[in-house]
Amino acid sequence: MARRRIGFWYRFAAVLVKPPLMVLIKRDWRGMENIPAEGGFITAVNHNSHVDPFAYAHYQYNTGRVPRFLAKAGLFKKGFVGAAMRGTGQIPVYRESTDALSAFRAAIDAVERGECVAFYPEGTLTRDPDGWPMTGKTGAARVALQTRCPVIPVAQWGANELLPPYAKKPDILPRKTHHVLAGPPVDLSRYYDREMSPDLLREVTEVIMAAITAQLELIRGEKAPENVYDPREVRIAQRRKAAAKSKAQQEEGQGT
């Protein structure tokens, strides 16, 4: 299917956003040849700064295949923000849906129309202490298996040096470099004829996240940790530690 035209709203956003990005960051952009020229596809991207959606959108805008990001459906309803979200073709996610696949129906429809849908599979800024990708959520895997579209793993690094995760002020000088590397499509064909179970979705998500991490290893010139940071496991461990500490304090108090 032919690609959709960029349109007025996306060009208007580019006019607003590109000039400050050009001033703030240098660019080391590679792998654009792996972005499909036609048809629907997914990009799966790591997330390590509040700035990187803009920096990454700049990268992909320059390929001619603009990304359609997923966002909460409520953002599309009112005012200028809603008009801009609708006008730039961003994808509403209906999290109130009881059907996990229906929650991503708009993303599936966009891919089937020939759009690029950009996923941040981690769902939030990475909490890995060294900035490596965390475990991912299964939304990208769901859409990929439903549509059988190409999944392009994309790694980025450098926006996090301009604005580190959860930092309040940017570190402007010296001027940072935004590195982006898009890899070849992830081969998911061996999963297409299997039942879409939670175990399958987790396995496919791990394959996608491993492909993103491999691209980031190339950018950083080092190997990622063998154990992927899992925020859920960290929270469980923290709760257990807090409960054990509280119990020890109670027992100590009873013994005095």
Where does the pLDDT of residue 252 fall: very low under 50, low under 70, confident under 90, or very high at 90 and above?
Answer: confident
CA-wise closest residue to 230 among 140, 128, 148, 149: 128
Q: What is the pLDDT of residue 138?
A: 95
Inside any domain, residue 77: yes
Name the one residue in this structure whose structure tokens are 């690609």: 3
Confidence of residue 1 (pLDDT cuts 50, 70, 90): very low
| pLDDT average, residue stretch 222-238 | 94
Flag whether 194 is in a domain. yes
Where does residue 238 fall: left (phi above 0), alpha (psi -120 to 50 degrees), or beta otherwise? alpha
Asked if the structure places residue 2 within a domain, the reply is no
Q: What is the average per-residue pLDDT within 204-233?
A: 97
Domain total for the chain?
1
Structure-derived torsion over alpha carbons of residues 58, 40, 126, 205, reported in degrees to the nearest 10:
-160
pLDDT tier, 3 (very low <50, low <70, confident <90, very high otherwise): low
Domain that holds residue 211: 8-254
pLDDT in tens, 5-54: 678 888 988 999 999 999 999 999 999 999 999 999 999 999 999 999 99
| 1 is a domain residue | no
Separation of alpha carbons 53 and 58, rounded Å: 9
Q: Kindly state whether residue 129 falls inside one of the protein's structural domains.
A: yes
Instruction: Dump pLDDT digits (tens) for 71-127.
Output: 888 888 888 888 888 888 898 887 666 666 677 898 999 999 999 999 999 999 999
Residue 172 lies in a domain: yes
- Domain membership of residue 67 (yes or no) is yes
- The two three-digit tokens of residue 232, written as one number: 């859920």
Q: Which two tokens stand for residue 105?
A: 């129906």
The total number of residues written for the chain in this structure: 256
List pLDDT tens digits, range 125-159: 999 999 999 999 999 999 999 999 999 999 999 99
Greatest Cα pair distance, the chain, in angstroms, is 77
For residue 97, tell me if it sits in a domain.
yes
Give the domain CATH number at 61: 3.40.1130.10
User: What's the token pair of residue 167?
Assistant: 């930092």
